[in-house]
Copies of this chain bind each other. A is one copy, B any other.
Amino acid sequence: MLKTTDPRTGVSAATTIEPTTPAGVDALAGRAATAAHELQSRGREFRAQLLDAMADAVEAARDELVATADAETGLGVARLTGESGRSAFQFRLFAEAVREGGFVEAAIDHAGDTPLGPGPDVRRMLVSIGPVAVFGSSNFPFAFSVLGGDVASAIAAGSPVIVKAHGSHLLTSKRSFEVLQSAAEAVGAPRGTFGIVYGQAAGVELVKHPAIKAAGFTGSLGAAEALQKAIDTREEPIPFFGELSSINPLVVSPGAADARGGAIAEGLFTSYTGSAGQLCTKPGIAFVPAGASGQAIVDALAGLTAGAAPQVLLNDRIQGSFGDIEERLKAAGAVEVAQGTAVPDAGAGFSVSPTLLETSAANLGAELAEECFGPLIVVARYDSLEQVAEAFGRIPRSLTATLHVQDEETDVIAELAPSLEASAGRIVFNGYPTGVRVTWAQQHGGPWPSTNSQHTSVGVTAVRRFLRPLAWQNAPQSALPEELRDQYTAIPRRIDGVLVLAG
């Protein structure tokens, strides 16, 4: 039996969720394989309607979902209400993208003479890769879980999806799955379009199943490694898209420290403690200049940190890691500058105190850049931009890199741009990396070890992960998908090399 636990008290409830058996995984995967062809054949408009129905269903069940998730995660009603809105928004955005149709990358090259002789008619578009496995995250019970972006992008691609529920919010996952099923029923989706499995062993069985053709994952490097090992035992390799680990360096330029150090300290405090610091984009290292302006930032950040109440983490494992990593960072030379009010001895569940550590940029290396999932930040004081650039070369690369800089400091931007671009998938100017806008141009992914692929897991282009290209040569019109027929003009297409907008 799998347990659900209230992180605010640490008390586990006896709950009714059983781990999925291997036979159960096999049955779900088989149904997904059957659904895959049916889903693809119903065309894009059906998938858009399904995504819209998913959004409607999330909204209809919102209060109940939020209450269930709050009890399991301690993330709070305000944050969770916002997150459920994000789930609904994501489903609608993908519905819009599916209707717009550019993501199928339709291309037609007519038969004709070429410099290499007569060429046949060739037409190409992206089609579903087949059933997808999705591993829900601990820290986003909605937006990166059963009701999350991986599920949205899989459905947009036309891929049935089986989610592995995260152990930290089993009841939320179960209720979320019922929401998906109600949407499937509302539009008459093929049986097997959605599935869910519980328990780590079932997750491993899932990625090993021959019917599964891709996997999306948000979680730790260690868990990803275990899944990759399971995938490596398959006869047929499948793509495994993992969002893994990120230290998210943030640099405050000398000019920015002078001009607006107080505001930056406040922003940084909010960013590193939001959601109890349990965000993959939490700034884990802040480069702050040596000297008075920099010291003022550290002092302000210390004051805010010292006054902060304990925060509840998602589970005991994360709580345990928080303490372990804090110890390791101190052993590696980081000095404690401030810590929030102490956690009471009893009845505080998985709480920890926000923590501010300091080191020098010259000392910063991989040991001082270990990601700590929770409200902890390391300030690295620097004497020169060269020190910052060099430190970027010694710390792991990230999802994001942030620069606070004044408009007139063009030399600072020029000096740091190569480091920022090489070390991250998203570069933030004069803001904070937490808060990932769900949109067409978003990129949530970066160089290893932040992700293990060239793709994003947030925003419209996330759909690309679950598609494969298919070309038809000299096909009769009736054998082509409608998107590639001569008369179809409802989507942008590249015709004989020329991009043509929808008519």
Q: Which chain A residues have a beta carbon within 8 Å of chain B's beta carbons?
A: 37, 82, 85-86, 89, 96, 100, 102, 105, 107-109, 114-116, 119-120, 122-124, 127, 129, 236-237, 239, 407, 410, 413, 417-418, 421, 424-431, 435, 437-443, 445, 447-449, 452-456, 459-461, 467-476, 478-479, 492, 494, 496-497, 499, 501
Contact = CB atoms under 8 A, between A and B. Distances in A.
Given A109-B440, A501-B501, 19 more contacts: A85-B116, A102-B499, A109-B437, A109-B442, A122-B442, A239-B453, A413-B476, A413-B478, A424-B470, A425-B468, A425-B471, A426-B473, A427-B473, A427-B475, A428-B473, A443-B470, A445-B469, A454-B468, A460-B497
Please give the count of copies of this chain that the complex contains. Answer: 2
A431 B473 contact: yes
A218 to B, nearest CB: 17
Contacts of A120: 428, 431, 435, 437
B476 A429 contact: yes
B468 A116 contact: no
A212 to B, nearest CB: 13
Contact of A472 (B426, B455, B501): B426
A206 B236 CA distance: 26
A443 B106 CA distance: 12
Contact of A469 (B85, B439, B454): B454
B427 A471 contact: yes
Which of A86, A418, A467, A476 gathers the greatest number of chain B CB atoms within 10 Å?
Answer: A476
A461 to B, nearest CB: 7
Nearest to A228: B237
A357 to B, nearest CB: 26
A503 to B, nearest CB: 13
A492 B499 contact: yes
A432 B284 CA distance: 57
Given A425-B471, A476-B413, A37 B418 contact: yes
Contacts of A453: 239
A441 B239 contact: no
A421 B107 contact: no
A467 to B, nearest CB: 7
Nearest to A111: B437
A107 B440 contact: yes
A441 B237 contact: no
